[in-house]
Chains A and B, each alone.
Chain A
Amino acid sequence: MFVNAVAWVRGLFPLPLQPWVEMLLKIGAIAAIAPAIMMYLTWLERKLIARMQNRLGPTRVGVYGLLQPLADGLKMLIKEDIVPTGADRLLHLLAPLLAVVPAILLFVVLPFGRHMIAADLNVGLLYALAISSISSYAIFMGGWASRSKFSVLGAMRSVAQIISYEVPEVLSVVTVIMVAGTLSMVGIVEAQIRHGWFVWTPWGFAGALVFFLSGIAEVNRTPFDMPEAESELVGGFHTEYSGMKFALWYMAEFLESFAICALTVTLFLGGWDAPAIPCWTLAGLLALLLATAKRLPIVAKGLGVMAMGGAVLWWGTQPIPSWIWFLAKTYALVFVLVWLRGTFPRLRIDQLMGLAWKFLLPLALLNILAAGLWWSLRDTPAGWVVSGMVLLAGAALLVLLNKPAPLHPRTYLFADS
């Protein structure tokens, strides 16, 4: 649909202008979609987290609080922009911009659907990893330029965290590159259409977990939000930001979390590919189940079978376009992100570093071995068994090795009795 629209608009212009028009259209689309996605991510997160805490979330602005992001944006725009005394004014201004630009640039290589990618770079994955690591510079710049202890502490933590988690993240992606044999995003998704989604293989499952967890840590989300831990650092690196600059920090963070979810979908969850088990099979199974159910009254049985039969016919025509599959998977991961935030308390800094260096990094290395074994035995079930065993044994060993040393019972020298 969108592809045809682009082609139609392109056809309206003379031939020498056409590449430029197409480029402008794509830039315009990304520039329009990215802030919209960010705004409604804030709404979605507030709603979901509220429900997980037995609350309602925003309800007052618009139906279901749907206009809340606009109201927030307006509030941010008319707020006073405070720069602390002694701050580096130029860097203080540049840092949030430097955080937002890579986050938006990430959208260039996200394949939203079949042929729906702004630029199918042949080094797309490398580009994504490189661009996403720029944000640590921005965070450190902002923290440093604020001339505030909280900001600098948050920025230092952020740098330590991002450097640590980048290693397992990149190593977990290596497996995908090995199997797909390409760095292009479209190529990776097409490889998954050929081989089945990577997440259903042992190494792919482990890789997806490592990638997603490291990704969460990279974008500073709870439970890995050490750089902006409210209870310890006020706001971390963005303590001294207000107004639109603060909104830009938030925009960068939300866009990056969206991009991490989208990248996980692209690399491991089959991108725009429809589910491996087609929906009409599921509907058919349900129809069979309903037809054979003994307890149900005959009317309910008939209606259910008819509905499910209709669903089989409907799904059989593949009515859902590829971009909806991609967005649905991405938003499912966004839900997981919020779910994690709603469930877990923040990790301590040593636990955070320990998780990265003592568990995720060795697991990612083992994962490369497992993927190699799987690939060399790919036509036999032996590959699955061997790579699964390697991973399970490795994970069990890592857990065993990481077990904290038992504390000696304390003896109190000078206490009575």
Chain B
Amino acid sequence: MIGTGVLKGMGVTFKTFVETYPWGRALLRLLRIPSPNGVVTVEYPDVKQQHSERFRYFPFLVYDQTPDNLRCVACRICEQECPPACIHIIMEKDAQGRPVKAHGRTLPNIFDIDTSVCMSCRICVDVCPFDAIEMDRQYELAGEGRFEDMVMHKDQLLRSNEYFQQIKPTEAATVDRRLAAKAAKAAASAAKPSEPAAS
């Protein structure tokens, strides 16, 4: 029969229209019509969307215990792997140009990431051999300045390991386990310095 498709389509839109109101859903429940849809709008500044644990937006630098105990050694692997090249690292050096060490490792003097360039790809996290950089869930990074406020400096990027454990428990547990295994292995090889490395 001609025209039934038209009426059917109009029925679908009308049902959607009714479904978005509480009274409409009550009416449909009374008529025993399933109403799976509803308003999908999230009124953003008032209400925030719930993200999964793996939601990521922007990298941060992890430190243990105190902010000067950075895991980062300024090896610049992430800087070179970053596809849009938004990371800029300069190692901390003394007057003679020799690397400065703190807690037994080198550290970055400058560590900048440009928010306006970063594309949230997480490659820096994947390539970091020290698990020093991780992805944050914070996405409200707007600033007043067009260029200067868009660049996050080292002190703005620092977050504690506890913060990491808090926002991403699963991932942080994996990282902690890996680091603990590495430390145990290092301790074992330090205890027997005469034996040559197996691998």
Instruction: List residues of A whose CB falls within 8 A of some B CB.
Output: 48, 51-56, 59, 339-340, 342-344, 399
CB of B27, distance to nearest CB on chain A (Å): 14
**A54 to B13 alpha-carbon distance, docked (Å):** 10
Q: Residue of B at shortest CB range from A395?
A: B2
CB of B76, distance to nearest CB on chain A (Å): 46
CB of B116, distance to nearest CB on chain A (Å): 27
Q: Is the CB of A54 within 8 A of B38?
A: yes
- Chain B residues with CB under 8 A of A340: 10
- Chain A residues with CB under 8 A of B188: none
Q: Is the CB of A344 within 8 A of B43?
A: no
Select which of B16, B21, B38, B43 is within 8 A of A53 by beta carbon. Answer: B16
Q: Which residue of B6, B14, B17, B39 has the most chain A CB atoms within 10 A of its CB atom?
A: B17
- Chain B residues with CB under 8 A of A48: 17
- Chain A residues with CB under 8 A of B187: none
- Chain A residues with CB under 8 A of B13: 52, 339, 342-343
- Chain A residues with CB under 8 A of B20: 51, 54
Q: Which are the 8 A-B pairs with shortest beta-carbon distances? A: A343-B13, A56-B41, A51-B20, A52-B13, A52-B17, A54-B40, A342-B13, A51-B17
Q: Residue-by-residue, is B10-27 near A (CB-CB < 8 Å gives 1, otherwise 0)?
A: 101110110111000000
Does B120 lie at the interface of the complex (its beta carbon under 8 Å from any beta carbon of A)? no
Does B165 lie at the interface of the complex (its beta carbon under 8 Å from any beta carbon of A)? no
Q: Is the CB of B39 within 8 A of A56?
A: yes
CB of A129, distance to nearest CB on chain B (Å): 27
- Chain B residues with CB under 8 A of A51: 16-17, 20-21, 39
CB of A122, distance to nearest CB on chain B (Å): 38
Instruction: List residues of B whose CB falls within 8 A of some A CB.
Output: 2, 6, 9-10, 12-14, 16-17, 19-21, 37-41, 43
Give the number of residue pairs across the A-B interface with Cβ within 8 Å.
40
Apart from A54-B16, A339-B14, A343-B12, list 19 A-B contacts with CB within 8 A.
A48-B17, A51-B16, A51-B17, A51-B20, A51-B39, A53-B16, A54-B38, A54-B39, A55-B41, A56-B39, A56-B41, A56-B43, A339-B13, A339-B17, A340-B10, A342-B17, A343-B13, A344-B6, A399-B2
- Chain B residues with CB under 8 A of A53: 16
CB of A314, distance to nearest CB on chain B (Å): 23
Q: Residue of A at shortest CB range from B1?
A: A399
**A48 to B40 alpha-carbon distance, docked (Å):** 15
Select which of A54, A55, A59, A343 is within 8 A of B9 by beta carbon. Answer: A343
- Chain B residues with CB under 8 A of A343: 9-10, 12-13
Q: Is the CB of A55 within 8 A of B39?
A: yes
**A104 to B16 alpha-carbon distance, docked (Å):** 34
**A277 to B126 alpha-carbon distance, docked (Å):** 73
Q: Is the CB of B9 within 8 A of A344?
A: yes
CB of A213, distance to nearest CB on chain B (Å): 11
Q: Residue of B at shortest CB range from A396?
A: B2
**A1 to B95 alpha-carbon distance, docked (Å):** 92
CB of B110, distance to nearest CB on chain A (Å): 42
- Chain B residues with CB under 8 A of A54: 16, 19-20, 37-41
**A353 to B18 alpha-carbon distance, docked (Å):** 34
Q: Residue of A at shortest CB range from B20?
A: A51
CB of A339, distance to nearest CB on chain B (Å): 6
Task: Give 15 pairs: A residue, B residue, CB < 8 Å, sorted on A.
Answer: A51-B20, A52-B13, A52-B14, A54-B16, A54-B41, A55-B40, A56-B39, A56-B43, A59-B43, A339-B10, A340-B10, A342-B17, A343-B10, A343-B12, A344-B9
Q: A339-B10, A343-B9, A399-B2 are in contact. Are A52 and B39 (CB under 8 A)?
A: no
**A59 to B13 alpha-carbon distance, docked (Å):** 21
CB of A133, distance to nearest CB on chain B (Å): 27
Q: Which residue of A51, A55, A339, A340 has the most chain B CB atoms within 10 A of its CB atom?
A: A51
- Chain A residues with CB under 8 A of B14: 52, 339
CB of A399, distance to nearest CB on chain B (Å): 5
Q: Residue of B at shortest CB range from A340?
A: B10
- Chain A residues with CB under 8 A of B41: 54-56
- Chain B residues with CB under 8 A of A56: 39, 41, 43
Select which of A52, A59, A344, A399 is within 8 A of B16 by beta carbon. Answer: A52
**A339 to B127 alpha-carbon distance, docked (Å):** 53
**A272 to B164 alpha-carbon distance, docked (Å):** 69
Q: Residue of B at shortest CB range from A336?
A: B10
**A344 to B12 alpha-carbon distance, docked (Å):** 11
CB of B23, distance to nearest CB on chain A (Å): 12
CB of A355, distance to nearest CB on chain B (Å): 12
Q: Residue of A at shortest CB range from B7?
A: A343
Q: Residue of B at shortest CB range from A342?
A: B13
Q: Which residue of A340, A342, A399 has the most chain B CB atoms within 10 A of its CB atom?
A: A342
**A343 to B12 alpha-carbon distance, docked (Å):** 8
- Chain B residues with CB under 8 A of A339: 10, 13-14, 17
**A344 to B5 alpha-carbon distance, docked (Å):** 11
**A339 to B17 alpha-carbon distance, docked (Å):** 9
CB of B45, distance to nearest CB on chain A (Å): 9
Q: Residue of A at shortest CB range from B45?
A: A60
- Chain A residues with CB under 8 A of B40: 54-55
**A369 to B9 alpha-carbon distance, docked (Å):** 32
**A343 to B11 alpha-carbon distance, docked (Å):** 9
**A56 to B12 alpha-carbon distance, docked (Å):** 18
**A399 to B16 alpha-carbon distance, docked (Å):** 30
CB of A286, distance to nearest CB on chain B (Å): 16
**A51 to B41 alpha-carbon distance, docked (Å):** 10
**A339 to B11 alpha-carbon distance, docked (Å):** 10
